[in-house]
Structure 1
């Protein structure tokens, strides 16, 4: 099979399975079937996502190279990627690292979620998607496979953000609508300078 076609098929299967497993209705059905084990759902979901993502990235191992950033300039690209990863960790910690990883303590299962609008969430509403795109774009070795993956991931992030916003609007109502009016979705806005008196 053509490498590009294989990559696209694998990515679409990954995106479909990942999206279906994230649907509240699917989660509720699984919770009804396995009420005691449901607290491990997020951890299992993350593990399945990691395994299937590895399967996607194993496709087309010898795709053509578009460019390779040479020498010390590649170190700058890697530095941007490292900074991006650190920022992603900071963003996840604002909403709860244990929740994200699916290792939340049972005593916190029913704790109410709060709408986080500060820190990285005060710059864009979906900072993890924005940062993931920056990470992809600053890969110093750009192959056709990586470019195709980056484009597909970008489209998936936009669709995921739209779906997630509907859920957040249902959950937080007017508070989320107000937040959405003030903070851009994915691309930070240039802040207006404060007028001096």
Structure 2
């Protein structure tokens, strides 16, 4: 199949948009409630882990498009810039793991729910959450954008990641406000969403 290379970024963005819609629907409170009505306590225990597995498996074909579609290289950095960029990526990866651990890694991937050991959490505003409300999204973006190589396809993919992070954070915060109420509203007023030390204007 011959595809115009100029169309590759658009196809990647469209595929990611479809992934985002499906991912948001499976994360919705409405679907969770419907699943709970059908499966009862089993849904509470296993929904999260199946949600994570589905998100990973459905993400694979979207990511594959970056390499499958015709591409054009933009740049490939050499030392010392490539070393600096890879160092930033390594630090970002470490901070992603720290953020996930502070969130509760076992609960994040659904194992705690499956074991039936989850209680209602208090709002976590410690660790990296003191500086930004969504550190995992922030450091995921720095990990991708500081790649020492860039092409039109990877740029489109990274742009999709950034847009998804922003939209996903907004969507997620609606649920967090519903769950934590005024405590989360106060947290929003005091702490930037994605960029640390970016004070909200009064």
- Normalising by structure 1, we get a TM-score of 0.89
Tell me the equivalent position of 2:8: 3
Greater alpha carbon shift after TM alignment, 138-147 vs 181-190: 181-190
**Equivalent position to 2:79, from 52, 68, 71:** 71
Kept in 1, the 8 Å contact 2:192–2:198? The answer is no
Tell me the equivalent position of 2:115: 106
Q: Does 1:58 align with 2:64?
A: yes
Tell me the equivalent position of 1:195: none
TM-superposition CA deviations, 1:100-133 (whole Å, max 9, x none): 1111153423x11210111110000111111111
Tell me the equivalent position of 1:143: 151
1:14 Cα shift? 0.9
**Equivalent position to 1:45, from 51, 55, 79:** 51
| Partners of 2:116 and 2:168 in 1: CA distance | 30
Q: Assess, with a 3 A threshold, how the Cα gap between structure 1 residues 122 and 71 changes in structure 2: closer, same or farther.
A: same
1:75 Cα shift? 2.5
TM-superposition CA deviations, 1:111-159 (whole Å, max 9, x none): 1121011111000011111111111110111111111111122111111
1:69 Cα shift? 1.0
> Pairwise CA RMSD of aligned residues?
1.8
Kept in 2, the 8 Å contact 1:88–1:131? The answer is yes
- In the alignment, structure 2 segments of 5+ residues that lack a partner are none
Q: How many residues align?
A: 190
TM-superposition CA deviations, 1:60-102 (whole Å, max 9, x none): 4241111111134323212211111111111111121111111
- In the alignment, structure 1 segments of 5+ residues that lack a partner are 192-197
**Equivalent position to 1:28, from 5, 28, 33:** 33
Q: Give the SS at the match of 2:75.
A: strand
TM-superposition CA deviations, 1:148-188 (whole Å, max 9, x none): 11112211111111111121112111211111111111111
**Equivalent position to 1:182, from 183, 186, 190:** 190
Q: Give the SS at the match of 1:142.
A: strand
Kept in 2, the 8 Å contact 1:6–1:60? The answer is no
**Equivalent position to 1:127, from 135, 147, 152:** 135
